[in-house]
Amino acid sequence: CRVINDLGLGKNVPIIMLSGKDGLFEEMRGKIAGATGFISKPFEPSTLIHTVEKYVS
């Protein structure tokens, strides 16, 4: 996330981080790195769809 944002490539594109680690600490690390959204694995397909729709619409 950090590299994408540093290059200016994520300026108008939401970045959703998928992680094998869960918990508030990991989610906060993703947000600090520049992620717009965060989903921890395993996840339901409906969770992914809802999250993508939330940031794309």
Predicted confidence (pLDDT) per residue in 1-39, tens digit: 778 877 887 678 888 999 998 889 999 998 898 899 999
Range of the domain at 46: 2-56
- At 45, phi and psi to the nearest 5? -55, -35
CATH code at position 45: 3.40.50.2300
Whether 54 has a pLDDT exceeding 90, the answer reads yes
Q: Give the pLDDT mean for 47-56.
A: 93
Q: What is the pLDDT of residue 51?
A: 93
Q: What is the pLDDT of residue 57?
A: 77
Q: With a threshold of 0.85, does the pTM exceed it?
A: no
Number of domain units in the chain: 1
Q: Are 56 and 36 in contact (CB under 8 A)?
A: no
